Amino acid sequence: MSIFKLKINFEEGGRESIELPIAAGEDVLDIVLDNGIELQHNCGGVCGCSTCHIYVNKGMDNIQEISDKEEDFIDRAVRPKITSRLACQCIVLDGDIEVTIPDQSEFLGH
């Protein structure tokens, strides 16, 4: 099994970027949650909402292509960009990726 690097940046001020291992076939949501990083996931990671929205900075070609369903949910996300993806759908295929997690403080209490 191939192991790649997942670099995570945070929009939230004062948080350092970190690098974690991610294996082919794993998704970004599972890796961040397994490592105690807060990322909303109201639907439980089944592409049923837009709360695990992240930005893919590098390595878009190294993850599974975006589906029509995922695109529909990204349209409902807070501040979507051209590089927006849902962390539950960012399944690594082959290579390193770098992502930014939007500030999660606006979700607290929801």
* CA nearest to 101, candidates 110, 83, 71: 83
61 domain residue, yes or no: yes
* CA nearest to 7, candidates 19, 24, 16, 23: 19
User: For residue 44, is pLDDT > 50?
Assistant: yes
70 domain residue, yes or no: yes
User: Mean of the pLDDT values across residues 40-59?
Assistant: 96
User: Mean of the pLDDT values across residues 73-87?
Assistant: 95
Triad 64, 52, 68: Cα angle to 5°: 45
What band does 68 get if pLDDT is binned at 50, 70 and 90? Answer: very high
110 domain residue, yes or no: no
**What is the total count of domains within the chain?**
1
| Partners of 20 in beta bridges | 6
User: Which pLDDT tens digit goes with each residue over 10-19?
Assistant: 998 889 999 9
User: For residue 28, is pLDDT > 50?
Assistant: yes
**C-alpha torsion sign, points 64, 57, 105, 16:** positive
Structural domain range at position 6: 1-104
Cβ neighbours around 80 below 10 Å, total: 17
93 domain residue, yes or no: yes
44 domain residue, yes or no: yes
Return the CATH number at 36. 3.10.20.30
Q: How far is CA 107 from CA 7, 18, 77, 104, in A?
A: 23, 22, 12, 6
57 domain residue, yes or no: yes
